[in-house]
Each structure stands twice: as structure tokens, then as C-alpha cells.
Amino acid sequence: MTTDVDALKRKVCEEFTNLLCEIRKGYKLDYELILEEISFIDLIQNNEIDRKLSLIALQYYLNNKWQKQY
């Protein structure tokens, strides 16, 4: 589970870096998914979420790519 949380953190870092690149080009994109992922990581690290639910949600966020929306 720790490995998966680390993978999600790396995903968030990459998505945020991409978001900043798009902002610098002048685009304003939807970042709700990134906010959700960060909040979810906090919930896991603070043990505020059921383990089974967290595994399902973790897989959802790992498999769900942040899409560019123009």
C-alpha cells in the first residue's frame, strides 16, 4: 500500500508539473482531479479512511489520467 501511495504522489507531481506548463502557455485547465488526489493522500496518511475503500480508490486514481481540457 505504501508503494501505491508513493506511486500516486509521483503521479500528482507529474500532473502538477504539466499543469504549470499549460498555465505558462496561457491555458486555464480543470485541476479538480489533482486536488482530489492530494486530499486522498492526506486521508490515507492520517489513517482517516477505511483500508478496503482506500485500496479501491487508490487504484481508481492511479488508473485515471488527468485529462487536458481546452
Site residues, another protein (CB under 8 A): 6, 9-10, 12-13, 16-17, 19-20, 23, 28, 31, 34-35, 38, 41
Q: Report whether 8 contacts 45 (CB < 8 A).
A: no
Name the residue nearer to another protein (CB basis): 12 or 57: 12
Task: Give least dist CB 52 to another protein, A.
Answer: 25
Write down the least CB distance from residue 22 to another protein, Å.
12
- Please report how close the Cβ of residue 30 comes to another protein at its closest, in angstroms: 11
